[in-house]
Amino acid sequence: MVFSSSVFVFLFLPLFLAVYYLLPSKARSAWILAGSWVFYAWWRVDFLALIAGVSVWTYLFGLRIAAASARPGARRSLAIGVAGNLSVLGYFKYYNFGIDSLNALLGGIGASGITALEIILPVGISFYVFQATSYLVDLYREDAPKARTFLDLAAYISLFPQLVAGPIIRYKDIAGQLRRREHSFGRFSEGAGRFMVGFCKKVLVADMVASVADAAFTLSAPTAADAWLGTVAYAVQIYFDFSGYSDMAIGLGLMMGFRFMENFRSPYLSASITDFWGRWHISLSTWLRDYLYIPLGGNRRGRGRTLVNLMTVMLLGGLWHGAAWTFVLWGTWHGILLVAERLPRLWPRLQRLWSSQAAAGRMAALSRIVRVLQTMLFVLAGWVLFRSPDLSSAASMYAGMIGLRGWALSDDLRWQLSPMALLVLCLALVGTYAVPLLRERLPALRAGGLRSFLSNRAAVVPLFLLALLKMSADSFSPFLYFQF
């Protein structure tokens, strides 16, 4: 079940919320767990046992960590608990990748490959395993309270608004809300408005421009115009798709009384790759920082170790997104850029070159624009790897981007382009860069709660109704991050 489906909007969500608000407060966490398990089982009932098993495993080892009187005992329980969770993720997500890579290696030396079963990737496993792991680590660090009951922990791991694509939430941030949370018309209306905005981003923007990206990335010999148009379209698609899901998740949480962390903050306005990762998929980047980068030593052990840690984190972050060499190289690409920004004789000189020309006023603004464009070029280059099904397809797109097959739009792509999709793409680009700037300058646009909902309802509701009509007419369109 996905948020942008008729069964969710017209059946599951109204029924869930009606029962939720009719129940007494003490019974609502149980209803959250039941509803979340139904939501997950709608995809495949058998994999419900997996998320239930992860919840039981995490709860039991959390008890052992909390009860251990000696740190070695707690450390041992932590190691076993985390290893168990990560082994589940490793098996389901990387088994096929490992077998395929091994068979490719064996084929290269003339040996016969290994015949193995194809493992189905459970939806959202990367997200709920990370949440379960963070609970054990925070409990060991004494940075989170022990779950009062199995019900609390299972509801946290399975919470359906963010179950399959984030934001990745920490138990320490939600433990108090599981016990007591605010239910008010103002918060509910804020959540409904946020859900509608995310729904429109997904259905009216991401799904519309997807046709442009898909057409370009399936060309065997794209020209420069083909490759750049397709890459820009994919950048818009993945941003509006994923941030739209995050908006809907945050909105649903507000409608249930929860407040989740923000997951995006105008990432395409970033002036550096470091800045980009502070704005894009914030819940993942902070998770990697707190549970991987800092434990590896962070920046406390000298510049050389810091650079190694950055590369390691980004490589593993790329692999987290998908079991393919394209994702490994995408993570490596971002790791190289982060390292370059910290090299004392390379990146700072480039930055000083621009800043020296920007004393104040217009030149300062021009300097930032140039740095934003520079960062976007790097991000777009990375999206080619992220979107391409394999390395040869990515190489073909790169060849097109540098003009090896000509510069004009090809006939193979031109006939597939919808004028409406191109119009939406242009409007999305304008909105991506103009709306955040307006928010900075117009405080009224940043207002939340009832006032914000009422003031924007006239614009949001008609668009939401239009999105509902489009959803009903179109075929099934899952969120991009469901595959991760």
Higher pLDDT, 369 or 457: 369
Instruction: Look at residue 11 and tell me whether its pLDDT is greater than 80.
Output: yes
Confidence band (pLDDT; 50, 70, 90) for 123? confident
Q: Are residue 91 and residue 237 in the same domain, yes or no?
A: no
What's the pLDDT at 351? 55
Higher pLDDT, 367 or 201: 201
What's the pLDDT at 129? 95
Q: What is the dihedral of CA 210, 477, 55, 152, to 10 degrees?
A: 100
Q: Are residue 194 and residue 172 in the same domain, yes or no?
A: no
Q: Are residue 416 and residue 307 in the same domain, yes or no?
A: yes
Q: Are residue 474 and residue 334 in the same domain, yes or no?
A: yes
End-of-domain residue from the set 180, 199, 214: 180
How far is the C-alpha of 394 from the C-alpha of 465, rounded, in Å?
Answer: 38
**Residue 22, domain member (yes or no):** no
**Residue 8, domain member (yes or no):** no
What's the pLDDT at 118? 81
Higher pLDDT, 474 or 467: 467
Q: Are residue 346 and residue 457 in the same domain, yes or no?
A: yes
Q: Are residue 96 and residue 166 in the same domain, yes or no?
A: yes
Q: Are residue 328 and residue 461 in the same domain, yes or no?
A: yes
Mean pLDDT of 291-297: 91
281 is catalytic: no
Q: Are residue 246 and residue 390 in the same domain, yes or no?
A: yes
Mean pLDDT of 76-86: 95
Mean pLDDT of 148-161: 94
For residue 353, what are the domain limits? Answer: 187-483
The domain tally of the chain equals 2
Confidence band (pLDDT; 50, 70, 90) for 456? low
Peptide bond into 348 cis (omega under 30): no
Confidence band (pLDDT; 50, 70, 90) for 451? very low
Q: Are residue 49 and residue 122 in the same domain, yes or no?
A: yes
How far is the C-alpha of 135 from the C-alpha of 153, rounded, in Å?
Answer: 9
End-of-domain residue from the set 180, 196, 216: 180
Altogether, the residues listed in the chain come to a count of 484
Please tell me the least confidently modeled range out of 141-155, 202-216, 342-356. Answer: 342-356
What's the pLDDT at 358? 46
**Residue 17, domain member (yes or no):** no
Any bridge partners for residue 406, and if so which?
Answer: 404
Confidence band (pLDDT; 50, 70, 90) for 443? low
For the chain, give the percent of residues with pLDDT over 90. 63
- Active-site option among 183, 281, 321, 334: 321
How far is the C-alpha of 453 from the C-alpha of 18, rounded, in Å?
Answer: 21
What's the pLDDT at 316? 93
What's the pLDDT at 369? 83
**Residue 18, domain member (yes or no):** no
For the chain, give the percent of residues with pLDDT over 70. 88
Q: Are residue 228 and residue 173 in the same domain, yes or no?
A: no
What's the pLDDT at 480? 66
What's the pLDDT at 134? 95
**Residue 106, domain member (yes or no):** yes
Q: Are residue 225 and residue 354 in the same domain, yes or no?
A: yes
What's the pLDDT at 264? 94
**Residue 356, domain member (yes or no):** yes
End-of-domain residue from the set 163, 180, 197: 180
